[in-house]
Every structure is written in C-alpha cells, then in structure tokens.
Amino acid sequence: MGIKDIIPEKVLNRLWEIVDEVSDECGEEKLNDNFIVKYEGWSGSCIPLAELSLELKKPISKITEEEMKDYCMLKGLSITEEEWKSEMNKKGFEILGMGHEQKGLYGRTWALFIKKKE
C-alpha cells in the first residue's frame, strides 16, 4: 500500500500548494471530509530574540540567520507535537504526516491530519 492509496492525489496536490503559498501566517484548511492541514510560516516577528539570546548565551546582534531558522524548525515541530495533535484529536483527527520545509524567510511547518476511523 502506497501513500496514494491513503491520500488522494488531489489532497496531496493541495497540501503542497498550501505549503508553497504560506509566508508568515498560520492556519488550518479542510482539504476534504477526511483531511485537514495545519500550517505556520515563520518570519522574524515569530522569533522572541531576547529569549533566544539567553538560550544561546549570546547578544541578539550575534544571532545568525541559521540559528533563527533552527529555532523556527524546532519550535514548529514542538507546536505540532504539543498543541496541534491534541487540538485535532479533540476534533476526531489524528496526525498522518508532518514536516518543516526550508521555504520562505525562516521556514514553513505543516501537519496533515486524517479523520479517525470509527
């Protein structure tokens, strides 16, 4: 059984369109009755520089673009695990896949949810 046996091609195509279009917004889109995608695009306004400065033990002016990208990737995966999964579980969906694409300013986090079988 391949991925296309689980996820219709139309849903996969829309998922990648959304991931490509996201800039610095977050949201949720129903792809059909069985699939929902949640996403977050990361920009500089999403990064708490003072907190990151303390964590990295360096002044804000010395924080690199790569460190900011790494922060966004880790924060995005954390949000997926700690918030989105629980939220979607309450709506009757479970996670099918997730990722963080290095597109846009500091990346795009996404998660695809499938309706639970009853």
39 membership: H or E segment, kind and range: strand 35-41
CB 106 within 8 A of CB 26: no
- Which pLDDT does position 23 carry in this prediction? 83
Q: Is the confidence at residue 4, as pLDDT, over 90?
A: no
Using DSSP, state whether 18 is helix, strand or coil. Answer: helix
pTM for the complete prediction?
A: 0.87
Query: What's the number of domains the chain is made of?
Result: 1
Q: Which residues pair with 98 in a beta bridge?
A: 111
Its domain, for residue 51, covers 3-115
Using DSSP, state whether 92 is helix, strand or coil. Answer: coil
The pLDDT tens digits of the residues spanning 35-90 come to: 999 999 998 888 888 988 998 999 999 999 899 999 999 999 999 999 999 999 99
Instruction: Measure the CA dihedral 56/82/2/14, to 10°.
Output: -90
